[in-house]
A and B are shown apart, each in its own frame.
Chain A
Amino acid sequence: MENKIFSKKVLEKAKELGMKPKSHFIIKTVLFALGMVFFLLFTLFLMSFMSFALRINAFWNLPKFGLPGLGMFFIGLPWILIFVSLTLIMLLYFFSKRFSFVYKKSVIYFLVVIIAVVLLSGFAVSKTGFHRELFDRAQKGHLPVMGTFYRNYSQRGPKEVSQGTVLDIERNIIFFKDIKGNEYQVIIASSTKRSILRPGDMILVYGKKDNETIWAKKILKMK
């Protein structure tokens, strides 16, 4: 009897409120799925951009200069972008937590899988011409909105390391063009560590920059 009174009360209120239509739940699921895709793609974009920016700024080669190189590498990493990417991954987790394939596994499992996917795909995208194309447009001022972002991050290389090609060699001066297209004279001192170089060689120069001159401490020939 008590059960009947309770269910009667529930039914009265239920009738009053009515059911939400199926379309409401379909739209909600679609929005959640779109949110997940958006966060995933945005993270992928940032990861591939970081990989591209680090490459054009010669960051990947810094560890070749030993401890000072490693120091420059860690200091110069785009920490803000790394932090934003990690926040996006956390948001992605909170968006996808409602799906059983996510909550059934531990958080660390999700993070390892998603970070591996984003890192590998980001690296692959950075190898395509996608960012180079946008970067070139930004340099020419033909990229609205994202132009400043591309220009800022492309100029954030380590101050004392440049990557580029040997144009010519004259006694103790190397005429050098970096990968951003700037030309320098690299001054070689007797103490400068270097291997035998020829025009056309890709090199990495470590030394203080002074306008269009680089006072080389070490020059590495790249394969």
Chain B
Amino acid sequence: MHNTFDNLTDEDLVLRVKSGGIEAFGFLVERYEDKMKRYARKFLFGYTDIEDTVQKVFIKAYVNIQSFDTSRKFSSWLYRIAHNEFINAIKKKKREPLSLFNPDVIFPHPISRDRPDDFFEQKETKEMVKKSLSKLKPKMREVIVLYYYEDLSYKEIADILHIPVSTIGVRINRAKKILKQIYGK
């Protein structure tokens, strides 16, 4: 059965799920399981049972699948659900403060470049980021995870976090500065 799904896009699979084909959803779960688990592991440092949280993400996706507009990208929609679920997990644990209001979305910022930079290419930087990620505030940590580990564009990240594209650049640059400071110590 899975062989028939191999050549289908995410959105085609969602169309099948919507019309009752639950097996197609199983295929989507397999397609995104590793990505979601990686996102959760990097974003939620020892917060909660990753397996359980990611399971909740997929179940929510299934329950709400009729709200997905197939003319849009399924991955962004799924990441959005994951973002909400992970933020809820952080709120529940109350270990890290999460402000309701983000001052960096109030004023417009110049759009910074959305191109791969050499920040993450050096071996020692990768190691430094890996070690220091947990020291970043959640909103900074999340953009770093989505941009450098999940390889998403600014636009995709903006759609997931529901914030302006220009704010993504600002957050990434701030997070990089903080990481460099931490590493400098």
Complex alpha-carbon distance, A107 and B27, angstroms: 39
If the complex has contacts A11-B22, A14-B63, A108-B107, are A100 and B159 also in contact, measured as CB distance less than 8 A? yes
If the complex has contacts A103-B162, A103-B164, A107-B106, are A14 and B25 also in contact, measured as CB distance less than 8 A? yes
Contacts of B67 in A (CB 8 A): 20, 22, 25
In whole Å, how far is B17's beta carbon from the nearest beta carbon of chain A?
8
Complex alpha-carbon distance, A105 and B108, angstroms: 8
Complex alpha-carbon distance, A13 and B52, angstroms: 12
Please name the residue on chain B nearest to A8 by beta carbon: B26
Please name the residue on chain B nearest to A15 by beta carbon: B22
If the complex has contacts A98-B162, A108-B106, A109-B108, are A7 and B66 also in contact, measured as CB distance less than 8 A? no
Residue contact A14 to B164, C-beta cutoff 8 Å: no
B59 located at the interface, meaning its Cβ lies under 8 Å from any Cβ of chain A in the complex: yes
What count of chain A residues pass the 8 Å CB interface test?
29
Contacts of B106 in A (CB 8 A): 106-108
Contacts of B148 in A (CB 8 A): none
Residue contact A20 to B108, C-beta cutoff 8 Å: no
If the complex has contacts A9-B55, A13-B59, A107-B106, are A19 and B65 also in contact, measured as CB distance less than 8 A? yes
B43 located at the interface, meaning its Cβ lies under 8 Å from any Cβ of chain A in the complex: no
In whole Å, how far is A95's beta carbon from the nearest beta carbon of chain B?
14
Residue contact A14 to B66, C-beta cutoff 8 Å: no
In whole Å, how far is B58's beta carbon from the nearest beta carbon of chain A?
5
What count of chain B residues pass the 8 Å CB interface test?
32
Please name the residue on chain A nearest to B155 by beta carbon: A104
Residue contact A105 to B164, C-beta cutoff 8 Å: yes
A30 located at the interface, meaning its Cβ lies under 8 Å from any Cβ of chain B in the complex: no
Residue contact A17 to B62, C-beta cutoff 8 Å: yes
Contacts of A14 in B (CB 8 A): 22, 25, 58-59, 62-63
If the complex has contacts A3-B33, A11-B29, A14-B22, are A107 and B105 also in contact, measured as CB distance less than 8 A? yes
| Residue of A15, A24, A104 most packed against chain B (CB within 10 A) | A104
Please name the residue on chain B nearest to A29 by beta carbon: B67
Contacts of B109 in A (CB 8 A): 106
Complex alpha-carbon distance, A4 and B67, angstroms: 26
A68 located at the interface, meaning its Cβ lies under 8 Å from any Cβ of chain B in the complex: no
If the complex has contacts A18-B63, A25-B67, are A10 and B105 also in contact, measured as CB distance less than 8 A? no
Residue contact A104 to B164, C-beta cutoff 8 Å: yes
Contacts of A107 in B (CB 8 A): 105-107
A129 located at the interface, meaning its Cβ lies under 8 Å from any Cβ of chain B in the complex: no
Please name the residue on chain B nearest to A104 by beta carbon: B164
A151 located at the interface, meaning its Cβ lies under 8 Å from any Cβ of chain B in the complex: no
